[in-house]
Amino acid sequence: MGHTSLDKIIALQNKPANIRNLCILAHVDHGKTTLADCLVASNGIISSRLAGKLRYLDSREDEQIRGITMKSSAISLHYSVGGEDYLINLIDSPGHVDFSSEVSTAVRLCDGAIVIVDAVEGVCPQTQAVLRQAWLENIRPVLVINKIDRLIGELKLTSQEAYTHLQKILEQVNAVTGSLFTSKVLEERAEKDSEVREAGGGDNGEQVYDWSAGLEESDDSDLYFSPDQGNVVFASAIDGWGFSIHQFAHMYSQKMGIRSEVLLKTLWGDFYLNAKAKKIMKGAQSKGKKPLFVQLVLDNIWSLYDAVVLKRDKEKVEKVMSSLGVKVAARDSRHSDPRVLLSAICSQWLPVSQAVLTMVCNRLPSPLDMAAERVEKLMCVGARRFDCLPEKTQELKRAFLECKSDTSAPVVVFVSKMFAVDSKALPQNKQRPLTQEEMAQRRELARQRHAEKLAASQAADAPAQPLSQGRSATDSDHPGPDVLPDHGEAMTLKANKVDEEEGKEHFIAFARVYSGVVRKGQKVFVLGPKYDPAEGLKKLPEGCSTADDLCTVPHMACCSLGSLYLLMGRELEELEEVPAGNVLGIGGMEDWILKSATISTSPACPPFTPLNFEATPIVRVAIEPKHPSEMPKLVRGMKLLNQADPCAEVLIQETGEHVLVTAGEVHLQRCLDDLRERFAKIEISASKPIIPFRETIVRPPKVDMVNEELGKQQKVAVIRQVKEEQSKYPETVQVDSTGLVTLTTANRMATIGVRAIPLPEEVTQLLEANSDLIRTMELFNLSMKEGKTLEINQKTLESIQDLKRKLESYMQGRKWRSAVNRIWSFGPRRYGPNILVNNLEGYRRPSVWQCLEKERSRAETYREFDNSIVSGFQLATLSGPMCEEPLMGVCFSLEKWDMKLPRQPSEGDRVSPDDPARLDRSGDGVYGQTSDQEAQGGSESESVVPTGSSEGKRRNNSSLVDCYGPFSGQLIAAMKEACRYAFQAKPQRLMAAMYTCEIMATAEVLGRVYGVLSKREGRVLQEEMKEGTEVFIIKAVLPVAESFGFADEIRKRTSGLASPQLIFSHWEVISSDPFWVPTTEEEYLHFGEKADSINQALKYMNGVRRRKGLYVEEKIVEHAEKQRTLGKNK
């Protein structure tokens, strides 16, 4: 078959009944791309000799190197059977689990799928996954059992054994389909049950439980694969042969005179040929006879392999060839590798492309036969029912089913992914032969330029010697050699321009037309996934079209289509228009579509259901450019990558990290390669992302590390510890035994007493959840402070009230009496999960809840430096003493706050000796004056403060100056230090971020899943079996710090049978104390003096400290004696 012309394909595109959109699905390495090669070769695009070796559709370099497909790519093929021409839009998909998102994008665009199963390996995890995916998208699968040659060559099975083996594989595949069917029926039943229960809740008691589960009622016979149904092909794509039962039935009915219908039914199954009676009988197995399939089909193939490959018997080969009526080129038959001869024979005898494509044309539906159920499923987003959609939308369903290519039909296109191509690959930029005129033009241009140059050189040479003049004259006589370089120059100029264009990546939308005809430059609506047709129809006037610029509807944009392309594997052919039912590429949509979208001319069109991805992105890495100055390039590249990959996610974290989230390690590698070579074009490095921690305190533990009651024996140790710690603190700090820390500022004018108390867990959670609310409150309070009022709507007020009530209910007991009312501030950043409580006697400040109070009581005012205390608290909560990470769930209570203000009139005489710095300055004229002023201000403020003027306070705030800097600053520092010491006086703990991890696994790998989880400090919460399947769902929690490489490890250990999903859930206290050393006798006994066992919390803490360059209490060398001995003079 020759190369199919573009015109023919365009003609075929208009006949939807003869179009087959299909994709090839299978487990990795089961031969998808090889089969695709064979099919491509049948159209003469590649040589049939290279089929299977070239992997034509693997166009990326890394795909060729690694030998796995990484993206789905489409090609349009032409095939004719039974006098009908068919257009086959074939999509090859990757089999590796990391790229299952690409499979989803391929499956969505197709009506049918070829599922390939390796004859040796049988059903593999990805086979199950793709069958499930095909099932979920309601597309019809056909089966190809590939690599049958391996049964002969590698396993050395006899034809009889091979038959039973093939039967087993078929059973496995059907079992998977069966379980999918059962689970669907059970689901439907459960839905129905719940509906019934809702409808009639009264007669529950009399309901008789129906155990039949409805399985019997639903018919599932047409779902299964069976050779006699014609939906199974046996093949060996590498050797280029494949057959279905039909072919043999047809062949033998002529030879043996048995009707082909009978043969069809009996060729596969427990039948045998009774040679004497010339009859086909049932029960081959029980009678020990060869089944018909073995006798008529497999034996022939086996003998062919035997003759050609194993025995290399020339004569026999000749005989077989003549009996098959096959002629082989002399070159092939002389080839030293018997495989070449084999494939030459087989590809003529039983060409795989013919078998597969015939099956495809006969068994898979055309776009016209799309199931109504599937249309409804596509059009209903989420849980909405089809009947709930607006009427106009429901009408669209008809357009779908008709798949009409009239100009009147509404255009509906679904874009399943965007892929990037070099501008070189675009047909516009392709090199083509120059036309006559262009050549003439170029010649003219070159001539002109040459003339100019000549003129210039003559002008320059004119004052020079006459000799050179003569030379230039001779030069002009021979324009030839001069023109050529000129021409070359022009060419390089052009090339430069092309190079610039090449730098830009072009995105092409991988799409399918479901209805109508798309044209180049057509105006359409682009509908985002959240678009609601009901809303859109309401807002847009009746009968409006895309020509009007009405883009006010949310999630809807209006744009015109760029060029349309026919996807031909690596190449693209430009098209003018594409009718319904075809797969196509659309250019120039990168500004409108991110990853996938629905395009329509009718606003009534609903967005299609989002693609369901089997794997969610879970492998996180932080990405950085090698050279920091290339940051903008990286960001641009990551944006492009995000658009080009359906499954990759990129985000910038608060810490400034650029994080890339991918589906697996192989996927990650591809994304990094893409970034390096295509999108960012810079050197990048990927590393483990930074893992956040929180610091907190807990109540003193009651038992020690060996679960012994902490009795008297420890007290000795505790006292010793306290004594030690006491010496660690600087002189200005005192810590009493209850954890109250008293600290004096550097200029000894203020003393602060702070105590740290752990908050109950519920309170911490409540504060975390309501941070937005707290922020609003804080805004209100700030504006109140300035005497302005901020309006807060009723709803927010109510939720604030609710928050307060809840806090009160959680914080009960003597310790917390009226604590909620005395909350001073939240931190860090004024809305975090830590609290500062005002436990001062005689200081009533306006509470944080003042937005709830109708009237402000006059007695409550802010004391001076209120702000400094709050700032100090904020700073302390922002970075804790353990490893400078934020605090969480800590309550600081301020219990003492004394200030010796120097400028009180009664103490005026004592001021100067107290503060020598001030004394010095007052010698200066100007300063003396100001200090006088300040003194006045100070006294004023003292009298003013009780009456509530904040002006006085402010003035004072900024007016204090001494040798330690502004007093407000000192107070901030003092408060911060006091909080830190108070924190350290309590038992400190680290909090780790936790993922909830949902793992789907089959029963046989459960043990390994548990192994991986426990190795990574994970904890299993629950495990249950999914109804109707044999898949277990395990819920576990796992520290984020341990999650790097988790997905990869679990996949490796379970051979891909378990797939985890990680979602951040909460913060959890790590129970071990990072500063723990054995103190009690039992602990000494158990752990020894040094406690060499690993302390998880200490490990995390030191990791963070080391990363931040903080001091880590570690010895440079562990054992002094075990250092390398160096000679003195060396």
Partner 1 sequence: MSIFTPTNQIRLTNVAVVRMKKGGKRFEIACYKNKVMSWRSGAEKDLDEVLQTNTVFINVSKGQVAKKEDLSKAFGTEDLTEICKQILAKGELQVSDKERQTQLEQMFRDIATIVAEKCVNPETKRPYTVSLIERAMKDIHYSVKANKSTKQQALEVIRQLKETMQIQRAHMRLRFILPAKEGKRLKEKLKPLLKVVESEDFDEQLEMVCLIDPGCFREIDELIRCETKGKGTLEVLSLKDVEEGDEKLE
* Binding-site ranges for partner 1 (CB under 8 A): 594, 622, 624-629, 631-632, 635, 638-639, 642, 649-657, 687, 690, 867, 871, 930, 933-934, 937, 954-955, 957-959, 966, 1106-1111, 1113-1117, 1119-1121, 1123, 1125-1128
CB of 1070 to partner 1, least distance (A): 23
| Shortest Å, Cβ 381 to partner 1 | 20
> What single DSSP character describes residue 527?
E
Q: 936: which residues sit within 8 A by CB, 6+ positions away?
A: none
CB of 994 to partner 1, least distance (A): 18
Q: Which two tokens stand for residue 18?
A: 């003869």
- The smaller minimum CB distance to partner 1, of residues 24 and 619, is found at 619
| Angstrom distance (rounded) from CA 541 to CA 1016 | 59
Place of tokens 């399939």: 293
CB 21 → partner 1: shortest distance, Å? 30
Kindly list the distances between the CA atom of residue 574 and the CA atoms of 7, 91, 577, 596, in Å, as whole numbers in the listed order.
12, 19, 9, 22
Residue closer to partner 1 by CB (options 912, 933) is 933
- Closest approach of partner 1 to the CB of residue 635, in Å: 7
* Shorter beta-carbon distance to partner 1: residue 375 or 650: 650
Phi/psi at 568 (5° precision): -120, 60
Q: What is the DSSP string of 388-456?
A: GS-HHHHHHHHHHHHT---SSSPPEEEEEEEEEEEGGGSGGG---PPPHHHHHHHHHHHHHHHHHHHHH
Q: Which is nearer to partner 1, 190 or 1110 (CB)?
A: 1110
- Give the Cα-Cα-Cα angle 499, 502, 505 (nearest 5 degrees): 160
1049 Cβ neighbours under 8 A, 6+ residues apart: 1012
Looking at the Cβ atoms of 723 and 854, the one nearer to partner 1 is: 723
Rank residues 175 and 935 by Cβ distance to partner 1 and give the closer one: 935
Minimum Å gap between C-beta 1112 and partner 1 is 8
CB-CB contact of 690 with 658 (8 Å) = no
Min dist. Cβ of residue 717 to partner 1 (A)? 16
Of 230 and 692, nearer to partner 1 (C-beta) is 692
CB of 1127 to partner 1, least distance (A): 6
Which residue, among 612, 604, 490, has the nearest Cα to 130 in the 3D structure? 612
Question: Is the Cβ of residue 657 or residue 1068 nearer to partner 1 in the bound state?
Answer: 657
Nearer to partner 1, 950 or 996 (CB): 950
User: C-beta of 536: minimal distance to partner 1 in Å?
Assistant: 22
- Closest CB to partner 1 among 605 and 660? 660
Report CA dihedral (516, 517, 518, 519) to the nearest 10 degrees: -150
Pick the closer one to partner 1 by CB: 274 or 958: 958
CB 236 within 8 A of CB 34: no
- Least distance from partner 1 to the Cβ atom of residue 631, Å: 7
| Closest residue by Cα to residue 361 from 780, 18, 89, 808 | 18
In single-letter form, the type of residue at position 277 comes to: A
Long-range contacts of 802-811 (CB under 8 A, 24+ apart): 803/766, 803/770, 803/773, 803/774, 804/849, 804/852, 806/766, 807/763, 807/766, 810/760, 810/762, 810/763, 810/766, 811/760, 811/763
Minimal distance in Å, beta carbon 725 to partner 1? Answer: 13
User: What are the contacts of 805-809 at 24+ separation with CB within 8 A?
Assistant: 806/766, 807/763, 807/766
**Nearer to partner 1 (CB atom), residue 269 or residue 881:** 881
Determine the Cα–Cα distance for residues 657 and 166; give it in Å rounded to an integer: 53
- Shortest CB 227 distance to partner 1, Å: 49
Q: What are phi and psi of 521, to 5 degrees?
A: 80, 10
Tell the smallest beta-carbon distance from residue 682 to partner 1 (Å): 13
Reduced 3-state DSSP string for 756-776: EEECCHHHHHHHHHCHHHHHH
Q: Which is nearer to partner 1, 175 or 635 (CB)?
A: 635
As a three-state string, the secondary structure of 646-703 is: CCCEEEECCCCCEEEEECCHHHHHHHHHHHHHHHCCCCEEEECCCCCEEEEECCCCCE
Q: At what angle do helices 32-42 and 352-363 cross, to 10 degrees?
A: 90
| Distance between CA atoms of residues 607 and 619, nearest Å | 29
CB of 956 to partner 1, least distance (A): 8
Whole-angstrom distance, CA of residue 857 vs CA of residue 420: 66
Paired tokens of 742: 């008293």
In the complex with partner 1, the residue whose CB is nearer, 156 or 1115, is 1115
* Structure tokens given for 43: 């159209």
The least CB distance from residue 917 to partner 1, in Å, is 16
User: Which residue, among 320, 312, 268, has the nearest Cα to 294 in the 3D structure?
Assistant: 268
Residue type at 167?
Answer: Q
Contact 633, 625 (CB under 8 A): yes
Taking the complex as a whole, the smallest distance from the CB of residue 941 to partner 1 amounts, in Å, to 10
- Encoded tokens for 303: 């003998």
Minimum CB distance to partner 1 smaller for 619 or for 648: 648
Reduced to 3 states, what is the DSSP secondary structure of residue 58? coil
- Closest to partner 1 by CB, 492 or 943: 943
Nearer residue to partner 1 within complex by CB, 442 or 1105? 1105
Query: CB of 592: closest distance to partner 1 in angstroms?
Result: 13
Helices (H), 946-1095: 950-959, 967-984, 1006-1015, 1046-1053, 1081-1087
SS3 content of the chain, % helix, strand, coil (to 5): 45, 20, 35
Between CA 732 and CA 970 the distance in angstroms is 13
Q: Which residue is associated with the tokens 């776009």?
A: 367
- Closer residue to partner 1 (CB): 65 or 1116: 1116
CB 410 → partner 1: shortest distance, Å? 29
